[in-house]
Amino acid sequence: MHSSTSNFDFQRPIPALPWRSLLLTTLLLTALGTLGWEIWARAHGYVPSLNDTPDLWADWREKVRPDSIVIIGDSRAIFDMDLNELEKGLGQRPIQLAMPGSCAYPVLENLANDPTFHGTILCSIVPGMWMAPPPAPPYLNGLKGLNRYHKRTLSQRAGHHIGMFLEKRLAFLNEEDLTLSQLLLRISVPNRANSYLPPALPPYFSTMDADRRTWMADACAQPGPLQDRVKFGWLPLFTPPPFPDYTPKEVLEGMARMVEARFGQTADAVKKIHERGGKIVFIRFPNSGELQKLEDLGTPRAGIWTRLMQETGAPNIYYSDHPELIFDCPEWSHLSAPDSVEFTKRLVPYLQQALGK
């Protein structure tokens, strides 16, 4: 008996349509839509710039050599230190591994546990972010690049390089503001009891080179809507919402223990680096305005910073100790592009002294 399941004679009829014309029309509409989106993006101040992806970070982690100079930390280490000036002053071009909005302890731990590394680390410390425990967004941000460095596949590498090719040419590929997920985050939803939305992240206000050398956008360095949007966005970010009332007591106590443990963990990592002949310098970069007041109130110098320096015994540079390192941050947290060059020139002699050069 002939089985119906073995009948392969069925053929789906193909409608008699002008397929060539439909293809050309589709391509034309796609091109027009792409062109329109690109024109809109550029009209709103976006320019072609590399996205600071975990893949780009992983590229540079792979370039770390045993005697490299490596920059780790938060966004201030990216905006405020110019790689060209550091190369002139230190005789070697640093590798930029700082990550915006991150706790850099996981990166320090990674370098400390790398038996081949005996180079130099320039480490930015924003005390509140440095102490972030594993569940907190800054700590998770610090893991993104490391996870990609350890696990990325060939297809991810290929996609990354194709993406870089396009990002250098198309402004609308900005992932900080113009992806669907970022656009959806702009929808305003009110907080409810025991349900607090995270504060909004700052909008696009920088450009980046392939070596992760970063500059503040001119529109942010000058008074105006973009500067205000960035400036007034820092205060809620540095004032996280309270834990919901139903958070178990043991969870809060566990997080407190993790924060306390960070002092010893940092000291252990520094010790490992020193034992291999490496060096590390901790740096506190400028801040200004209301954000400076908020940080000084919440994490005064006599607190986390002082204890970290005492327990690690590492050389350190605190910007306000040196009048020539005190700069005004246009949006309260980072230096403008010209000021970052001048700041780095003035910082280099202190780095040389700290490193014994």
pLDDT of residue 288: 96
State pTM to two decimals. 0.84
Band (pLDDT 50/70/90 cuts) for residue 76 is very high
Reply yes or no on whether the pLDDT at 6 is more than 70. no
**Residue ranges per domain, the chain?**
54-185+201-355
pLDDT in tens, 113-147: 999 999 999 999 999 999 999 888 899 999 999 99
Strand order in the sheet with 279-284: 95-96, 69-72, 120-124, 279-284, 316-318
Q: Taking every pair of C-alpha atoms in the chain, what is the biggest distance, in angstroms?
A: 96
pLDDT of residue 296: 95
Alpha helices by DSSP H, listed for the chain, are: 19-43, 54-62, 75-79, 83-90, 105-112, 127-130, 137-151, 154-167, 180-185, 218-221, 225-237, 249-275, 289-298, 304-312, 337-355
CATH of domain 54-185+201-355: 3.40.50
* Averaged pLDDT, 207-230: 90
Name which of 57, 167, 80, 71 is nearest 119 in CA terms.
Answer: 71
Q: Other C-beta atoms within 10 Å of 229: how many?
A: 15
More confident residue, 17 or 316: 316
pLDDT in tens, 321-340: 999 999 999 999 999 999 99
pLDDT of residue 305: 97
Q: 57-95 burial string, b = 16+ CB within 10 Å, else e?
A: bbbbbeebeeebbbbbbbbbbbbbbbbebbeebbeeebb
Residues 6 or more apart whose CB falls under 8 angstroms from that of 297 comprise none
